Chain A
């Protein structure tokens, strides 16, 4: 704290409350030192009025000898010089002396005090033992004190205290001191409270009068400041500050009211023109010059504000709140500028800038003066505002005084400078000696261009560094930007560009388009001046596409590019690469054909929709796209972005700072061992874009302004030449190269205009097309749902030419087969389709047929086309479908096909013929085998029916196709010309229609006159045609079958008669079953082979096994149900068997069935012949079934037991039974029924109807 010697001591901060002393001067002098030392040692609680919080306060005092002049006169508001306490000191212990002089002196002292209305006094009686001892006529020491109390303190006995032996080191002395000091402090505080309270009341009264005319703010200011001084004196800086803040607020309010039209008279003095702008002065605790001005009412607004702030500043620094100073300073400077404007005070142009500049620096110096460096660095955020403000103001001054221009100041500028410097006045004495001061700085800066530049740069850099240090990058860049503007005006674009590029960064990264445009335009100017052509063109391109600029400006920048582009290209000069994004925006790419898959050599068109951002039509000499070629098999790449319509839509540009959208795709992983799903998940494909560090992201984006990456050299290119891009929408067509099969991926786009290239280094999303190569293929397809055998059918030949182009004269050679001839049709035409399925042309086919080969000469067909024609073929139905023909036929090419050319299969009741066609194609040396499937439309079943000796053949023809057929001329013929055999048709209709899935039955009676035929080879034939076709389309259908053992050998007859005595059969009672077997024919030679005969008793017999079976469990056979009988071979020999059976139900019951078998005893060892019955009933009876091979034919399968010979134990000799042919046994009781009554004693009637 600097002390100012010239000024009255009371105005320094050494101020202490004044306490006067009177009485014994020497006594006081002796005690003075310890008194001043001990008084502030302990704090005292100060309770205050108006509800203010009590405070602990350390008291100090300035002891002054009592003089009457010290006492304030009426109306004097000075508080600092106000004596708060008056003390009278005496060490008198002698009553005489007291009465003689001391009392009188005291009374005089009291009189003066009373006259001035001062009630704050104290009488101190000091007691010394030394003195006491010397005196003999001593009164008790209390008496003096009492006397004084009696004389002076009427009711305030506490106003008189004693201090015993103050100069001795004893406990008593200390106690005495302590109580004395407490008293002193208490009384002082009481005095403060009382006097300050009174003062405050007066002050308030004065303030309330402020609406009265004649009230002066300056006067009031002085009064309230007095209070502030006292608080400051009492070290109550907070309270002192409050006083100033109140004054500040009051003044501000008046100014505002003035602005609102409510002007106070006293304000006029502040409206006088500003003549001095020498800034704040913060180095003195109190600026007396300014204070005097205020006191005199001569202060300008700046003076008042400056003074007020300097006081606030001082107090704040006392309060250790330097950062509040800076904040308040900035606010003050802003306020002052505003207030001057509001009050319409006339100020010399630039004067305020000077004042602000000086003030800023002064505040900063002040703060620097009281803070440590580290502390300052930690609080840049508080000071940087002032730095920036100072920088701005200096710049404004520089502009004003012509210090920024390239030519330096002119005379007018110089005059202005002189005026401004005049207003600064002389430098203040405090700083006159120091090397650096705001005053010197300003003066120097205004003196010359160079000095200005030095100071301005210094300030700017300081501000920028501080901003950077506290992380306020945007603010730092803004300062940098204004620095760049300065450099530009100074004609130093190089330095300017650095700062501009830096500040561009944050605008780009946060996509603030307007500042971005503005900055970019400045950069363009720099770059133009620096002749950085590449960068300038890049920036120009961006600006030309910037919609924030006016159309004229955009045109200008566009023209700049066009002009450069049209200049002749220098040798060795590379083309200038610019970013495509400034030229235009890709919108859509459309493939034609839409699949983007073409065959080799085919045409693929690509249409690129570009929205040009340039304001002028741009003539692009070449628009090219580099293709990446890979021979990967087609389909390995996923083209997710390509839509079915063949278009790829490029995403619109989003604000750059927004991270791109997640591109998610499903990921499934199959375990290699069992191809089961082992994991499934979602993966993000563009993590590299999303996970970028923010700083690298910005550098990547600003890369748009820097040179773009070099154009890739590519083997394959898409090219379009001489395109004029109009502003807005444009369409560019490319025809894509397709010479090699593989996958082509669009990588880079490049638009070339003379010396300039616009390059898009990466195309997103991925755009691909595929080129494939294909082998020629021949296929034959039925035209109908299924091909029917036996009828002419249309089949379609389809040749996909692939890479082979069919020349004139090329022919297909079909090797003929008997089973499927190719039918000639006179009008046979072929259609040629291109790869997209459109019919290109139609031409006639010529078909030539020789014995072996049918040759179809093809029309000339280009590659990757489809040739289609139809042929009619007929697949003959094999006469006997039961036996597949396996034959090897010679093919036309001389090879022997060992496989069947046609093969008949059965599926779901339909006979299917697989017909192989061997075709020689011109493009291959190998024959092509094509299989055609034909369905046989009919299924035929035949059966031999017997009625006694008469025989009938029934043929059942079922239509298994979906077509309705007409059927005529059904005939049955016998192949072998058996004599005397006659086939008598019993059919009435010759024509009939067979609907789909329906049957037609036809019956013939077999008649013969002589020996019955052993076997018959029959052929059923009929003509058929589709139901709606004319007769000429009738096609034959034949069915061969054979009948064996036609004649009836045995007739079986059964009779059921009730038990004796009963009229009817009854349920539950035994009945008699009589079976009679009659041989109808004589033994013939034909039978010899399969019958076993035995000659017993000279009679030829054959053994028969009969079996009574009742499958429906109507009967219970009692006893043996089967047996072996020996039948004579003579005609009409009869054998009867009787057995007992019991009906199990009542009603009309069918007869049990009786079956006959030929019984073959074991021949090898006849002696070991087991009981035939047991043998037959056992499971091991083996059955030899004849005619098993006929099972597929229409012959009736003999019903026999399920045992097969292989099941039987081989080693054991067993009798066997052999089934008789179905026609050989005639059962005359078949399907006869017998009536069975219910049991007589049954209460319930139980009837079973079958």
Chain B
């Protein structure tokens, strides 16, 4: 088996007297989708924030491709190829699809105007279209404003954006929330496309059938600790639920 692409070893996170994460260890391999599940308050959000560079763990180490990392900001993690789609952070609705895809990574025209920050808009429109297409999202017009899209379409663009930019790891926090069955199915399809491209995917969700459908392995958090880390094939929806709620223990 290859080496993990992203890994946390024995990390803990304390907020004052409260321990949100307690000695958590997990690995993510390239071309793998890991489901991260747990009840509310189990520590999923805290773990995601540590993985994406928003928070620094109180103790423990984070390794990207075997190298120890101390993220000072989400921007730093982003630059190293870790894309995070936060729950509800979404897109800028007033901007076009292309502007959202390239947000924070705008391409400028060549020459002095480019140095002043003037944008190569047509180029970005074309490239956004191609990139979304590559990850399985067909956008007829990438210069349309996101506010004109439906909720499902927006989520597709948001995930497409994350997948298109992710070089190594993609973290998706509740990407199928508020989506209808057909749209959720399409989102899961995009996740599978990302896996085929060799990305490591962390998929956080409350919707257990989605987790069962798309993941290769499931990490269950409970009260800040990893209580189970096993291939998806070892779970059924019932045993997974039992593990999350603490009714089933090994």
Same assembly: no
B interface residue numbers (CB < 8 A to A): none
A interface residue numbers (CB < 8 A to B): none
